[in-house]
């Protein structure tokens, strides 16, 4: 998801539109603009930079962000990736419309109608005026995110206790309230040759240094574990049992939107008798 503008003092965009106040011109301008936006969103102009008509001025539309470039220039590439060629350069003082975002890449449209992709780093000071986070070295990883939701999966193995050696995986969804506190829901399954089981739990994640690239995390939670047996028989004392878990994790932020997480957990299961388990897991998560 996207970012809330926080800074009110903004360089307003002065698009060089010949200002006429006649309603007919405004209506025609709006119609041309709407067609241009529709055409753009169909991707035709985006995919063929060489066929853009240079004389068309992009027109104001309530749903587009218009910016004036503050940095000395902005490289515009033909695709949202560092390997695509730069086919146009927007100079300082020129106006651009921001059309779409894919991760750190923004699809921009220049005043002459050229459409291409620029990174948020290139637009950093310009975007910062709108409250978008700037992609500057000093900006941290965990709290770069106005993206609050995190989704991903983990897999690992039980390393000690009655289920030692069982493989497990889970899907996770978490919501970050503040930079150091998240709430996570987890749904998973475990397998070994005798046993198959499911579990779901809710965890509180405390990550005090989320602005570091390697960031430690404390995990506290509780859930329910239920076991079935595979065709090969083995009976264990755990069936639909509540458990508490606590653990330590380490988050490694790869890029801006991707986190690799390693963790080790201790479980305390309230079955017929108390069962303790331990597991290690690796997880992959992305923010949105």
Can you tell me the distance from the alpha carbon of 156 to that of 153, in angstroms, rounded to the nearest whole number?
10
Binding mask 114-143 for another protein (x = CB under 8 A): ---------------xx-------------
Locate 68 and state its tokens: 């004036």
Question: How do beta strands 149-160 and 274-287 pair?
Answer: antiparallel
Q: How far is the CB of 79 from another protein (least distance, A)?
A: 5
Q: Which of 5, 113, 216, 262 binds another protein (CB under 8 A)?
A: 5
Give the one residue of 55, 63, 72, 138 binding another protein; rule: CB under 8 A: 63
48 is a site residue for another protein (CB under 8 A): yes
258 lies in the site for another protein, by CB under 8 A: yes
d(CA 100, CA 106): 6
Spatial contact of 262 and 281, defined as CB atoms under 8 Å apart: yes
Interacting span for another protein (CB under 8 A) from 26-34, 179-187, 201-209, 266-274? 26-34
Stretch that binds another protein, among 96-104, 133-141, 174-182, 211-219 (CB under 8 A): 96-104
Q: Which residues in 202-241 contact another protein (CB under 8 A)?
A: 230-232
> Residues with Cβ < 8 Å from 1, sequence gap 6 or more?
146, 147, 148, 149, 288
Q: How far apart are CA 59 and CA 69, in angstroms?
A: 17
Closer CB to another protein, residue 155 or residue 214? 155
Q: Which of 177, 184, 245 is nearest to 210 (CA)?
A: 177
> Which residue's CB is nearer to another protein, number 239 or number 270?
239
Distance separating alpha carbons of residues 177 and 114, to the nearest angstrom? 39
In the complex, least distance from residue 222 CB atom to another protein, rounded to whole angstroms: 23
Q: Which is nearer to another protein, 213 or 272 (CB)?
A: 213
Determine, following the binding rule CB under 8 A, whether residue 112 of this chain makes contact with another protein: no
Residues 152-171 that bind another protein (CB under 8 A): 152-153, 155, 167, 169, 171
Report the residue number, 12 or 274, with the smaller CB distance to another protein: 12
Q: CA 23, CA 153: separation in Å to the nearest integer?
A: 55
Tell me which of 151, 202, 224, 248 binds another protein, using CB under 8 A.
151
Q: Are 106 and 73 in contact (CB under 8 A)?
A: no
Total residues binding another protein (CB under 8 A): 80
Residue 33 or 208: which CB sits closer to another protein?
33
Beta carbon of residue 287, minimum distance to another protein (angstroms, whole number): 8
Which helix (H) or strand (E) covers residue 138, if one does? none
30: its two tokens: 């709006």
> What's the min distance (Å) between Cβ of 114 and another protein?
14
Long-range contacts of 58-61 (CB under 8 A, 24+ apart): 58/33, 58/97, 58/109, 58/110, 58/111, 58/113, 59/17, 59/29, 59/30, 59/32, 59/33, 60/15, 60/17, 60/33, 61/30, 61/33, 61/34, 61/37
Residue 155 Cβ vs another protein, minimum distance, rounded to whole Å: 4
Nearest CB to another protein, comparing residues 44 and 235: 44
């Amino acid at each position: 998801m996207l970012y809330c503008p926080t800074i009110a003092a903004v360089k307003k965009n002065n698009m060089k539109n010949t200002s006429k106040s006649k309603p007919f011109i405004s209506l025609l301008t709006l119609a041309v603009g709407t067609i241009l936006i529709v055409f753009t969103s169909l991707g035709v102009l985006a995919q063929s930079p060489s066929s853009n008509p240079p004389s068309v001025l992009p027109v104001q539309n309530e749903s587009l962000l218009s910016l004036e470039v503050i940095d000395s220039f902005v490289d515009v590439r033909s695709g949202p990736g560092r390997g695509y060629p730069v086919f146009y350069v927007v100079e300082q003082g020129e106006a651009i419309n921001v059309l779409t975002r894919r991760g750190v890449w923004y699809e921009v449209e220049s005043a002459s109608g050229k459409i291409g992709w620029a990174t948020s780093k290139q637009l950093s000071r310009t975007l910062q005026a709108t409250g978008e986070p700037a992609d500057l070295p000093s900006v941290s990883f965990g709290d770069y995110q106005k993206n609050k939701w995190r989704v991903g999966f983990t897999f690992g193995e039980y390393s000690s206790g009655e289920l030692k050696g069982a493989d497990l995986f889970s899907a996770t969804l978490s919501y970050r309230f503040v930079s150091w506190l998240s709430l996570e829901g987890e749904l998973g399954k475990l397998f070994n040759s005798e046993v198959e089981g499911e579990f779901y739990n809710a965890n509180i994640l405390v990550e005090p240094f989320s602005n570091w690239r390697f960031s430690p995390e404390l995990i506290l939670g509780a859930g329910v574990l239920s076991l079935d047996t595979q065709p090969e028989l083995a009976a264990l004392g755990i069936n639909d049992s509540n458990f508490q878990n606590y653990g330590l994790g380490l988050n490694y932020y790869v890029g801006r939107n991707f986190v690799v997480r390693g963790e080790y957990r201790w479980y305390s299961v309230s079955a017929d008798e108390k069962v303790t388990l331990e597991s290690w897991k690796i997880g992959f998560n992305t923010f949105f």
